[in-house]
Chains A and B, each alone.
Chain A
Amino acid sequence: MSVSSSLSRSPDRHGSLAALRRMGLTVALMSAVAAAVLMPGGAARAATPPGVLVVAQSIDDAVSFDPAEGFELTTVQTFNNVYQRLVQSNRDDGTRIEPALAASWQPAADGKSLTFTLAPGARFASGHPVRPEDVIFSLTRAVKLNKAPAFILNELGWSADNVDQAVTRVDDNHVKIAWSADVGPAFALAILTAPIASIVDEAAVTPQASGGDFGNAWLKSHSAGSGAFTITTYAPHEALVLDANASAPGGAPKLHSVILRNVPDSAARRLLIEQGDADIARGLGSDQIAALKGEAGVKVLAVPSARTDYLLINTKANATLGNPAFWEAARYLIDYQGIATNLLGGQAQVHQAFLPVGFPGALKDTPFKLDIAKARKILADAKIGPTTIAFPVFNEAPFLQIAQSLQATFAQAGLTLDIQPGVASDIYAKGRSGNYAITLRYWIPDYFDPHSNASAFAINRDNSHNTVARQAGWVIPELSDETAAAVKEQDPAKRTALYEALQHKIQARSPYVFMLQGSEQVVLRDGLKGYAQGLNSDQVYYDQVEK
C-alpha cells in the first residue's frame, strides 16, 4: 500500500539577525495568545446535516477508485462500500468467508476450480442484473490491466494470456472459476475476497471504455458496482461524495450520503470532530487521541489492524549484516515496550511474528525484550565489533521516532545507526535494488489469508520474485517449499500448524525483527451507531451507520 507523505515547507522567510532579536518579543506574544486561546471551554455547537455522514481524513493518497487499480488506503477503504465481491470476509472474523454476490459455491473434485451460483435478483446500482458476464469482465480486466494489485490475482496462476479460459460462464446464473496454481479452493476463496475481485457492471463500464482500457480511465473517479453506495462526486485532494444505493442487494444503507472530506492537517481534523462538523475523524496522532479521550461528545474506537512493523536487514549489505548472530543480537536491542507505550501510545502493541493476531495460526508470544547485555554477548561471541550501519527510514511519524529509539539502544551495543530519512518511494526503491543496510518497514496483508504474509517473508528460491525475503537478499529454498506446502494444504488444522511452524523458524532466525502490530484509533461523535471496521485495511463499512 503506498503511503502519502505530508510535508511542511519551512515557514521561515528570512533568517537575518533582526529576526533573532524579534524572537523574544514574538515568543512572548505567541505564548500570551496561546494561553488565552487554550483556556478550557468551547463546547461543540455545529452538527452535520441529518442523513449525511462527514468523515474528516486525508484523501491525498487516492490514485484510482477503479477496484482493478486502487491500492491506497483511501481507495481500498471505499471499495467495500461501493462494490461487492462474489464472496466477502466476515466483518468481525475475517477468516470466515460469507456469500455476497454469489449465493453459494461448489468446489470441483480435483480442487482446482469453484462453481458459483449468483445471488438471485442481485442488481447493480444502474439497475442492470448481475450476470456471469460481469464476473468474467471484472476478473479478466483486472488481470489484463495489470495495475498495482494485479499480483493478488496472479497468485492463482492467472495471466493476461490464460485468464479468459480460467473464468467461464456455465449458464445464466453460474460461473466457473478455475486456476492453474498449486493452491486449494479455500485459498482461492480468500483471494476472491480481496478488493481487486470486486464485480463491476460490464454493461455500464463498456460504453465508457476507450483505447482498450476496459473503462479504467472512467472508473478512476466513477463507480459501477452493487454496493451500498455509489460515487457521485470525486474532486481529488478535496472530497469523495458517496450517495446511497437504495437497490443495493445487501439492503439500502441508513444514510443518504457519505462525504469523505480531505482535511490534510490532523489538528484541523481534531477541531472538526470536537466541534461536531465531522462525524468521524481518522489519522489523529496519539497525543491528539489522548487529549480527546474523556471529552464530551466524542468517543475513541480502537480497532486492531493487521499491519505489522518490522526491521528489515539486508543480508547482502556486508558480512556483519549477513551474519545470523547480528540478526539475533538485533532482537535484543529493541525497546519494544517503550516504543509501543511511550512513542505510539495505544496505536500499536508488541508483536513478534509475521502473522498478525486475528489471522489463523498467528503466534502471540513475545520471546524478545530489550536486553543489552545479552546482545553484547552475542555480538562479542560472533566477533562483531563497533560499526556504523546505514538506516534509511520513512520521513514521517512514527517511523523517525521509532528509528531514534533504535538508534539509542543499538548504540549501547556499539552499533551506530546512521538514520537517513527519505520519501516512501525512495525507501522502496532502495529495498528493491538492495541499496540499504537496515530499514524500518511495515506490512499490511493484501487479502485475508496467511499466505499473503508468508509469501512475502518466507519465499525466495533464487531472487527471481520481488518478495521481502528477496529484498533482504535471503535465499531460502527450504522455507519456500514449506510455504508452498502450507498454501496447498486443504485441512484447516494442518494448515494452521504449518504456518505456526514457519513463524517459529522465522522468529528465531531471519533477517527480520517483527516489533509491533498496529491498532487504529478512529474518533466518532457520540451519537453515531453502526460503524464497523475490521482487521484488514479494506474492512471499513458505512452501510449500517446511523446518526
Chain B
Amino acid sequence: MLNTASETSSTIRVASRWFGFSRWRGAGTAVVRWLGSVALTLFGLVLVTFAMTRLSPVDPVLQLVGDHASASTYAAARLELGLDRPLAVQFGRYLVRVGHGDLGQASSTGQPVAADIARTFSATLELATVAIVIGAASGLALGIIAAMRSGGIIDAAARIVSLVGYSIPIFWLGLLFLLLFYARLHWAPGPGRLDVLYQYTLRPVTGFALIDTALSGTAGAFRSAVAHLVLPALVLALYALAGITRLSRGAVLEQLGQEYVLTARAKGAGPWRVVFVHVLPNVTGPLLTIVALAYASLLEGAVLTETVFAWPGIGRYLTVALFAGDTAAILGATLTIGSAFILLNSLTDLAVARTGRGRDR
C-alpha cells in the first residue's frame, strides 16, 4: 500500500501540472483530455473483464437452465444470451448497448442490470461511506498522535490496532462481532440492513437506508437503520483504519524530522502547534490520497463483510454473477466500480492540487 500511495502522489503531482487547475486557460482542453483518458480506461476495463468471463469455465447457459433441461431449451437459452455469435460481435453489441445507456439484462437475477446496480451499489456506498468516515477520523487521529508520541503508549496501541485490522480475517471478525454484540450482549441488531418491521414497508426513495428512513419520519426506522449499520461499518472501519493509521503516522513522523520543524520549535512553537500549523499542511496530499485509496477499496464492495452481515451490496452481487457466468451483470458491476474509482481518484487529484502547496517550504 505504501508503494501505491507514493506512486499515486507522484501521479498526482504530474496530474496537477498537467491539468493546470490554477489557471482557467486550457481548462477546456484539460476536461476533454480527462474525459478521453476516462473513456479509454473504462474501455480497457470492460475489454479485460469481458475476456475474463469468456475464459472462465462457467457455462452461463447450464447455470441458467440446469442439467435436466432439454437440448432445445439449451439452444434457445444460448441464442437468447447471444452466445451463438462470434466474440467480437458479442463485445461490439455490448459496447453499442452501453453507449445507449443500456447495461442489459442480468441472467442471474432476471432483472435489468441497471436496476440491480442501483440497489446494490447504494447499499455498498452507504456502508463504505460510514466506514471511511469512522476509519479516517479515528485512523488519522491515532496516526498523528502516535507520531507525536512516538514510542509511547498510544504509539504501541496504534501499532496493535493497525496490526489487528490488517491481520484478522474480516469475515471472522464480523462473525465475532455478531456473536458478541448481537447474540450475547444484545447491544446491536442482527445481520441485515433494517428490521423486517420496516424493511419491506418503507418505500425506497434514494436507496440509502439512512436517508429513506429519515425521510419516512418514523423514528424507529431511522434508529433501526443506524443500529444495523454500526457493526459492519465498524468492521470495515477497522480495516480502513489499519492502513490509514500506519501511513499517516509515517508521513507525520517523516515531517517531524525536517529542518523547518526544528526552526518552528526554536521559535517556541509547542508540539500541537508544530503538528497542526506547520506539519499537517505539508502532509495533506499524502493523507488525502491514503484516505481516498481506502475509500475506493471499500467501494469495491467487501464481499465477505456483505456475506456475513447479509448486506445486499455490490460485492456480493458481482461475486454471485461471476459464479453464474452472468456477463451483463459482471460487466455492469465492474463498470460501476471502475467509474467510482476513477471519479474518486480524479476528485482526490483535484483536492490535492488545490491544497498540496506546502506552507513552510
Contacts and interface: CB of A to CB of B under 8 A. Distances in A.
Contacts of A259: 196, 200
Contact of B316 (A235, A264, A423, A424): A264
Contact of A26 (B167, B183, B316): B167
A45 B186 contact: yes
A2 B164 CA distance: 40
Given A9-B304, A63-B107, A148-B66, 16 more contacts: A2-B64, A30-B172, A45-B186, A48-B196, A54-B196, A220-B111, A236-B110, A237-B120, A238-B119, A263-B310, A265-B308, A268-B178, A271-B178, A277-B189, A429-B62, A432-B62
Interface string A413-445: 000000000111110110110000000000000
Closest 6 CB pairs of A and B: A236-B109, A11-B169, A220-B110, A425-B63, A238-B312, A42-B184
Interface stretch (A12-20, A366-374, A378-386): A12-20
Contacts of A41: 184
B69 to A, nearest CB: 5
Contact of B182 (A9, A148, A271, A431): A271
A310 interface: no
A259 B199 CA distance: 10
A235 B119 contact: yes
Contact of B312 (A262, A268, A428): A262
Contacts of B196: 48-49, 52, 54, 259, 261
A161 to B, nearest CB: 12
Given A237-B320, A241-B200, A33 B73 contact: no
Contacts of B71: 465-466
14 contacts: A1-B66, A36-B180, A38-B179, A42-B184, A48-B196, A71-B69, A236-B109, A239-B199, A263-B191, A271-B191, A275-B190, A423-B58, A429-B59, A456-B68
Interface in A45-103: 45-46, 48-49, 52, 54, 60, 62-64, 71-72
Given A22-B163, A71-B66, A428-B62, A423 B200 contact: no
B172 A268 contact: no
Interface string A484-521: 00000000000000000000000000000000000000
Given A235-B312, A275-B183, A63 B108 contact: yes
A301 interface: no
Which of under 10, 10 to 19, 20 to 34, or 35 or more describes the interface residues of B?
35 or more
A400 B87 CA distance: 34
A264 B59 contact: no
A271 B188 CA distance: 13
Most buried by A among B67, B175, B189, B312: B67
A456 B69 CA distance: 12
B99 interface: no
A470 B111 CA distance: 35
Contact of A150 (B73, B168, B170): B73
B120 A265 contact: no
A542 B170 CA distance: 36
A484 B205 CA distance: 57
A5 B170 CA distance: 20
A19 B167 contact: yes
Contacts of B163: 22, 25-26
A456 B77 CA distance: 22
Given A146-B73, A220-B111, A33 B176 contact: yes
B39 interface: no
Contacts of A13: 166
B116 interface: yes
B72 interface: yes
A72 B345 CA distance: 41
Contacts of B189: 46, 277
A401 interface: no
Contact of B59 (A34, A154, A428): A428
B169 A221 contact: no
B320 A151 contact: no
Contacts of B304: 8-9, 11
Nearest to A219: B110
B137 to A, nearest CB: 22
A538 interface: no
A11 to B, nearest CB: 4
A446 interface: yes
Contact of B179 (A9, A37, A237): A37
Contacts of B107: 63
Contacts of A233: 200
A395 to B, nearest CB: 10
Contacts of B167: 19, 22-23, 26
B230 interface: no
A9 B303 contact: yes
Interface string A142-169: 0000111111001000000000000000
A319 interface: no
A265 B109 CA distance: 19
A271 B192 CA distance: 12
A149 B72 CA distance: 12
Contacts of B191: 263, 265, 268, 271-272
Given A26-B167, A241-B200, A261-B192, A42 B110 contact: no
A106 interface: no
B171 interface: yes
A466 B61 CA distance: 15
A423 B57 contact: yes
B52 interface: no
Nearest to A468: B67
B168 to A, nearest CB: 6
A455 to B, nearest CB: 10
A2 B310 contact: no
Contacts of A432: 62, 67
Contacts of B199: 239
A4 interface: yes
A237 B176 contact: no
B260 to A, nearest CB: 33
B319 A426 contact: no
Contact of B166 (A14, A64, A148, A235): A14
Contact of A12 (B63, B66, B169, B183): B169
Interface string B298-333: 000001100111101000110110011100000000
Given A2-B64, A60-B320, A268-B309, A237 B109 contact: yes
A146 B65 CA distance: 10
B64 A466 contact: no
A444 B58 CA distance: 22
